[in-house]
Amino acid sequence: MTETYIKVENVRFSRAGRTIYENVSLSIPRGKITAVMGPSGTGKTTLLRLIAAQLAPDSGRILVDNQDVHTLSRTDLYKVRRKMGMLFQSGALFSDMSVAENIAFPMEEHTQLSHDTISQRVSDKLHSVGLRGAADLMPSELSGGMARRVALARAISLDPELVMYDEPFTGQDPISKGVLVSLIRQLNDSANMTSVLVSHDVEESLSIADHVCILSGGRVIAEGTAEAIRASNDPQVKQFLNGEPDGPVPFHYPEKGGDLERDQRGVAS
């Protein structure tokens, strides 16, 4: 149907002796919103870090726009990363810069644009996330939802081809969630970007995703359109979507030899 933008092929990844992915293959179509879902600790964030080549797989390869990101030189990798924007779970705004400086930073770093052009584009980006009035605030003065919207404006400041969202809905109130959902949809459609969304918020994710992958136990257990996923009869998928406490994913933490439980967040490259 549509062209594939990111192709993950037979990726095996382990860290500190724990296998996180056994053999993961999935593809992310260009110009669509793809949601990667799964229970906590299945390495969803790890997947984003692998795509951005902040982590390297043990075997297998990842193609972004037909380039194997893990064989690139440092300079080439940085060039590819300029086409990517990433919204981190914590927002990751630079705490020593104001909101406007945060958004201007990637442009100042990578473009030769004049100061006036940059400030014009900063206010455009802020306008698109509805925060033009917050330009001069410091990140510490923002609420969680505002910080995430500023981070989103920064992620798209270079008009990337790919935006990756790491748990964009976690810890947000219902209104912020709604704002983010519509922003992600809008941005994706208006700028023809490819979006990858990592989340365990089932409703929000299914409501905007064109394409859904569900990861569990180091494997892809389901892949398809949102409707196809909702209609799935796979017991694991059903347990996850309906939030049943016990099922194929056990309620009890395995006592020994389990290796897929620990939360992955925060272990940076």
Partner 1 sequence: MKPIVALGTSFLDWLEAVGRAGIFLVQSIFRVPVRLNEAINLLIKQLYSVGVLSLVIIVVSGAFIGMVLALQGYSILAKFGSEEAVGQLLALALLRELGPVVTALLFAGRAGSSLTAEIGLMKATEQLSSFEMMGVDPLRRVIAPRFIAGVICLPLLSIIFSATGIMGGLVVSVSWLGVHDGAFWSLMQQSVYFDTDIMNGFIKAVCFSVVVTWIAVYQGYECVPTSEGIGKATTRTVVLGSLAILALDFVLTAAMFGDF
Q: Are 224 and 211 in contact (CB under 8 A)?
A: yes
CB of 81 to partner 1, least distance (A): 4
The residue among 7 and 83 lying less far from partner 1, judged by its C-beta, is 83
Q: Which is nearer to partner 1, 84 or 220 (CB)?
A: 84
Nearest approach in angstroms of CB 88 to partner 1 is: 4
Instruction: Determine the Cα–Cα distance for residues 154 and 106; give it in Å rounded to an integer.
Output: 8
Q: How far is the CB of 113 from partner 1 (least distance, A)?
A: 13
Strand partners, 18: 15
Smallest separation, CB 182 to partner 1 (Å): 24
Residues that bind partner 1 (CB under 8 A): 49, 52, 54, 78-79, 81-82, 84-86, 88-96, 105-106, 108-110, 266-269
Task: Give the whole-angstrom CA distance, residue 126 versus residue 260.
Answer: 39
Looking at beta carbons only, is 54 or 119 nearer to partner 1? 54
- Determine the Cα–Cα distance for residues 8 and 44; give it in Å rounded to an integer: 13
| Minimum CB distance to partner 1 smaller for 216 or for 264 | 264
C-beta of 110 vs 238, nearer to partner 1: 110
Tell me the two tokens of residue 50: 């692998």
Work out how close the CB of 50 gets to partner 1 at its nearest, in angstroms, rounded to a whole number.
13
By C-beta, is 37 or 155 nearer to partner 1?
A: 155
In the complex, the smallest distance separating the C-beta of residue 183 from partner 1, rounded to whole angstroms, is 19
Residue whose CB is less far from partner 1, 94 or 250: 94
Considering the complex, what minimum distance in angstroms separates the CB of residue 104 from partner 1? Answer: 12
